[in-house]
Structures are given as structure tokens and as C-alpha cells.
Structure 1
């Protein structure tokens, strides 16, 4: 029998209040059909103190809910205190760590398993094999890869004993910078940002001079304006050897999103019906899968309709 595909809930990229953060993960723990959850601050180390004291209880609740917990490292390490954060994370216990900046590897002893996040540029088999030899056991591929590249890397992952994962839902992370765009747009300095990014729970949209919705800013991070949605592509991704799928937290009904992905992956719901339900659930969201199709990343390219039998056979 084919291996049952798994679902990963990626780390929260946005600046939510501590209460909203706790409530979100409590619901994920109790209701969401996901297999693992990534916890931790990826985008801005200044956000961490607001919820760091809640992480132990959240880990315990997620474990009670049957979820595996992965601790996520910072994506751009530039300060001494951030290097210390990485060292402390590496020494924090037995939970697996997802690496978002390769400097994190300096703190992980050789032989300790770790995951590689989609923020690491793994574009070829050589990089994948090198990371596998260093201890990587799971690798979420960069979301901008087209299908032929995913097929090639999935084969390399299988040969190296690495679980291949793809970014399947959510605004796509495109870049991260030492400068804070959110602070600047509000006339503030990064060191005195007043945490204005918290005003935009799914990021602040950026428009072109012609008024076209273009990108989204999230503190020091740039994301797509559109939401990646690969519900219609799960069958061919499974056929390519992908065994894990990542959904990224947003302020909408993430339990509902996870349920749709789970039902399509289990062959209990047609992808066309799931896509229609997702569109009704998030009517303000524009979906895209252009990167996978080898087109403009913001485009949505209709896929061949997959039936539940197609998913089961993959």
C-alpha cells in the first residue's frame, strides 16, 4: 500500500497577539487533522518575548492532540542575541528543529536529525544529498520550484532517506531583509517599530502604481499577495513521490483548510469540490499555483481533474 501522505502546519509567520496565538494552537491541537506542527519565531526575533512563555504548554497540548511538534529557528540571524537564541534552541531538548538559516547547523551536533524549511534554497540534488548527509530527515522544497524540478528532487530525497514536502497552501515567502518594511511605511525606525506589523494579521498588501495588488509585507519579510493552493495538484504531486504537504497559518479557518487537504489526500473528496469549498470559505483570497506550473507565480493554472480513485492510486 502507498504511504499515507502527511500534513504539516508550518510556523506562524505573522505577528499575532499572545492570546490569539494561544487560541489558534489550542484549536489546532484539538481539531485540525494535521500530523505535525512547526512552532517558533521565524521572521523577527523581537516578537518572540510576547509568547515564549506559552510555548511549553502549547507543545504539551499539541502532543496530547496527537501532533508531532517541530521547533522552528529564525530565518535571518544577524545579531549576537539572535545567535544566542539559536544556541539555546539547539540545547532546548529532544524535539526536532527545522532549520530556516544554515547558520543554525553550527549549533546542531552532527548526528542530530533536523528538518530543512522552504526558506533554504535547495534547488538541486547535490544540495539535498549534502544536507541529508549532515542529518536532514525532512525537507520542504522551496515553493517557487516547477513540477519537473520537484520530480527530480523527490527522487533524490527518496534515494537519500529524506521525506520530501511541498508548500501547498498560503501566501508564499519570497524574501527576507535586514530592513523592516512595516516600520518604514508607518514612518518608524526598525529599532522603534512599535510592532506595527501586528495591525495586519495576514500581512500588509502592496499595490503597484496602477493599483494592482502585487505583494504582501510582513515586517522584514516579503510574501506573495496571492495564496498558493495546490488542492488540484495533489494527485500528480503524490505520483511524483511527494509524501508530505505544508499549509501555512493564516487568520482564516485553518482547521477547515486542513480538513479539505486531508479529505482530498485520503481520496474522500474530489479536488474540484474541495477547491470550490475553499473558495467559499475564503472569498476574499486569490489562489495561485503558477510556480508549480512553470508559469508566473501569481497565476492559477487549472489542473487535470483528479478523482478520489486517482489520489488513492498515487
Structure 2
């Protein structure tokens, strides 16, 4: 039976440079992660804070036995952002494409398709594979039958599924964090750094609803597919993505690896994850073809 890889998605939040670099140093040295995606996906204004450290962090990750993939912006709108995407396409590492506007820059070269591109059926997956996509990270809202159909239709392409962390739901040209604090997007003063896991949004009835992260809307709950890992393996999924949160992601990765290697029962692993992220609601509704915010126990 094929071994499922564990991947670590890019940090979606505005972490301080110290938190960001320390996080990747620990991942490099301690986490049973196979592939690390790194780079700015949400807001290009954040990218200069860590760009100078990026080569050293990549070298440290590779020294720790990790493969590195560079993630691109999910919604490039400015000329400088388009130039950045064009330059990223010439990097020595494989690139994860998160907006279709970047695909022409790659000109058929091997690349990964990120979860911000809507791959909802077999035909789309095959079209992208013909254009050079070697990995496809499926959108988190797909149910299990759709995942199985795409994996079966594209056996030569690594199919990756979002398995842990807040679910990305939308990206806007407007910054919610700036608006909330009475600022414009251009003079936001990076207020999003105050919410390293995103800012919780409740309804008028005080029900937990969503989270915001600058221009991005996320789920309130963390997707958690620990109990579905073996089913995903059986239908041909190649990799599971863990999305960075401020909880102990090394511990999270070890729990997932133990389940994938049949060293831990999924139900026990779920209890462990509840201790690692004790104040977090989990959800797996999308993969069970129901409301995404629900957690379905089989």
C-alpha cells in the first residue's frame, strides 16, 4: 500500500519574523513532514518582512530532509504582484500556483496546483496535469466521492487533501482587518499581526461563525480529517496537508504520522489532537458531503 506523505502548507497569518523563523526551524528539526510549502499567499505587503530570510530557511528545511515548494499569491491584482509571480516561476524550487494568472509563466514546467484554484472534477485535473501540474491540492470543500473520482482519473498526479487547520473560504481585494480598525488597506499598519490564528467573527446571536485574516475569510473551526486518513489513503490520495496554526504543529504532525503508519488508532489520535488544541472546534463536514462546520462521527 502506498505511503501517504505529510505536507505543511504555507503560513497564512501575519506572524512576527521571530515566530515565523523559529517555527520553521522546529519543523526542520523535529516534525515528520515530507514537504513544506513556504511563501506569502494572502497579502503581498507581508512578503518583504521575511524575504531576506527565505533562502536560509529553505536551506535549513532541506537540510532537515524536507522538500520545499514555493507558494504564490492567491489573488494578485497589482502590477508588482504580477511581476513577483513571474519571477517566482523562475525559482529553482517547484512552485505552488494559487491563481490561474500564474500558469502561463510556467510554460509547461512541473509545478503544483494549490487549494485556491477550483479543481472540482476529473477533466480539470487532467487539463492541469497536461500543462505540467505534478501535484494538485484539492479545494477543502470537496466530498469524499469527488476526491476519489479525481484521484482515480489522474493516477500520475499527486493528489493532496487539506487535513488540518482553518479552512480558507474566500479572498477579497478589501482588507477586513484594516476596515475593522478604521484604516485603509494601504495604511493598515499590519494590524492583522495581532491575531496570529485569525480574528474570530461571531454572529449577532453570539454564535461562532468565521475568522478573518487580512483580506482572507477562514472557517472558525479547524478542519480535522484524522479519522478519515485511512479512507483517503485507500482511495488514492497521495498527501495530507496540515495548515500552520499557533498550536504545537510538531505534535500535530506526529499524531497524523502515527495514524498513517498504523501506530495509533484514529479515535485515540482524535483525543490527542483535542489536547493539543483544547480551545478549538474541529470540523470534517465537507468530506462527508454535509455542512462544512459540522464534525461527523462515523
Give the TM-score taking structure 2 as reference length. 0.99
Paired residue for 2:143?
146
Aligned match for 1:224, one of 219, 222, 233:
219
Measured against aligned partners, the alpha-carbon deviations of 1:206-228 in whole angstroms (never above 9, x if no partner) come to 01010001000000000000000
**Cα offset, 1:109, TM superposition:** 2.5
Structure-1 separation of matches of 2:16 and 2:125 = 36
Paired residue for 2:81?
82
Aligned match for 1:176, one of 171, 174, 186:
171
**Cα offset, 1:28, TM superposition:** 0.3
Paired residue for 2:27?
28
Structure-2 separation of matches of 1:260 and 1:274 = 6
Structure-2 separation of matches of 1:283 and 1:20 = 21
Structure-1 separation of matches of 2:283 and 2:276 = 16
**Cα offset, 1:87, TM superposition:** 1.2
Structure-2 separation of matches of 1:176 and 1:91 = 25
Aligned match for 1:120, one of 109, 117, 120:
117
Paired residue for 2:229?
234
Paired residue for 1:18?
17
Structure-1 separation of matches of 2:153 and 2:214 = 35
Matches within 5 A, 1:271-286: 271-286=266-281
Aligned match for 1:204, one of 183, 199, 204:
199
Paired residue for 2:101?
103
How many residues align structurally? Answer: 298
Q: Which structure 1 segments of 5+ residues have no match?
A: 304-314
**Is 1:264 equivalent to 2:259 in the alignment?**
yes
Structure-1 separation of matches of 2:35 and 2:295 = 28
**Cα offset, 1:283, TM superposition:** 0.7
Please give the secondary structure, in 2, of the residue aligned with 1:191: coil
Structure-2 separation of matches of 1:166 and 1:179 = 28
Please give the secondary structure, in 2, of the residue aligned with 1:242: coil
Structure-1 separation of matches of 2:95 and 2:270 = 32
Paired residue for 1:71?
70
Q: Which structure 2 segments of 5+ residues have no match?
A: none
**Is 1:59 equivalent to 2:54 in the alignment?**
no
Please give the secondary structure, in 2, of the residue aligned with 1:277: helix
Structure-2 separation of matches of 1:105 and 1:227 = 30
Structure-1 separation of matches of 2:46 and 2:237 = 33
Structure-2 separation of matches of 1:210 and 1:302 = 27
Structure-1 separation of matches of 2:242 and 2:236 = 18
Structure-2 separation of matches of 1:81 and 1:21 = 24
Aligned match for 1:247, one of 242, 248, 259:
242
Measured against aligned partners, the alpha-carbon deviations of 1:136-158 in whole angstroms (never above 9, x if no partner) come to 00111110001111111111121
Paired residue for 1:189?
184
**4+ residue runs of structure 1 moved beyond 6 angstroms?**
none
Q: Superposition RMSD on alpha carbons, in Å?
A: 0.7
Structure-2 separation of matches of 1:281 and 1:76 = 32
Give the TM-score taking structure 1 as reference length. 0.94
Structure-2 separation of matches of 1:91 and 1:124 = 29
**Cα offset, 1:82, TM superposition:** 0.2
Paired residue for 1:310?
none
Structure-1 separation of matches of 2:107 and 2:130 = 13
